[in-house]
Every structure is written in structure tokens, then in C-alpha cells.
Amino acid sequence: MRRCNVANLATTALVAACLLSTTGCWQVVRARTMNVAAARAEEKAAAEAQRAMVAAAQARGTTAAQQDAGRDVLKLKEYPPLPAPAWHQKYVALLKERCNVEWEVVQGPADSVALREEVIAYNAVMRAEIERRFGADILLKLQIEAEGKK
């Protein structure tokens, strides 16, 4: 009988050790799973905030361009400022001379996604307005002329 009791005690101790370690393992796994879920939720929230910020910037750019066009102010914007080809100054001068279009280099942080999206939206509306007033290919014609290809 002593042998059965010793065997039972050993088995009970082994089962208890397994349960304790398994419970500990499950707690670690559960904590890691919760951390992963929290990280995914954070990433999702950040992506959603980024999308909202881009949409707001695009709306600002569109509204500003519509207001400028309504006041008869035609302007194209550049952001971020980039090195210009040799013909660029002539292109800007032709825009002003033939279409009364200003060229604005927007100052701001070099990596502003919001500002870049705002300028892109502004220029899209303004290009459409310029082409409506002066012809569908006016911007291309002026660029070709400035490059000296014509």
C-alpha cells in the first residue's frame, strides 16, 4: 500500500506542477495576445487618424482653391520646394504673362503629409479652373514653350 500512496503522491505532485506551469503559460500567452491586440488597435487608430488628417487637409486645399478662383485669383503652389529645371523660371513667367497665374512656393516642414495633401488638392482644383478658362492643354503648351521645344 505504501507503494500506491507514494505513486499517487508523485502523480499528484506531477499533475499539480503541470497545472501550475500550464496556468502560468496560459497567463503569459494571454498577456502576449492582449498586447498584440492592443498594438493592433493602436495601429488601426493611428491609420484612421492619418486618413482623417489627410481628408481634412484635402478639404482645406479644395476650399481654398475654390475661394481663390471665385475671387479671380489664379495660383499654383509648390510643396515641398524642389530643385527646378532650367526652364522653370520661364514657365512661371509665361503662366503670369499669358494666364495671370501666380506661382507660390509653400514653406513648411519638409515631411508634412497634411501640407503636401493640401497643396495637391489645391492644385487639382486650380489646374481644372485654369484649363477651363484658357483651354484644356494650356499648362502643357506653356511648359513645352518654356522648355524650348516649340
pTM for the full model?
A: 0.74
**DSSP structure string for 56-108:** HHHHHHHHHHHHHHHTT-EEEEESS--PPPTTHHHHHHHHHHHH-EEEEE--S
- Residue 135, SS3? coil
Higher pLDDT, 98 or 3: 98
Give the pLDDT confidence of 125-148 residue by residue, as tens digits.
999 999 999 999 999 999 999 999
pLDDT tens for 15-64 read: 555 555 655 655 655 666 777 778 888 888 989 999 999 999 999 999 99
The contacts of residue 81 (CB under 8 Å, 6+ apart) are 105, 106, 107
Tens-place pLDDT, residues 96-112: 999 999 999 999 998 89
**Residue 102 burial (CB count, 10 A):** 14
CA angle 60, 51, 110 (to 5 degrees): 65
Phi-psi region of 112 (alpha: psi -120 to 50; beta: other; left: phi over 0): beta
Read off the C-alpha cell for 94. Answer: 509665361
For cell 506542477, what's the residue? 17
Q: Which residue has the cell 508523485?
A: 10
Q: How many residues does this entry show for the chain?
A: 150
d(CA 131, CA 99): 10
Query: Which residue ranges make up each domain of the chain?
Result: 50-147
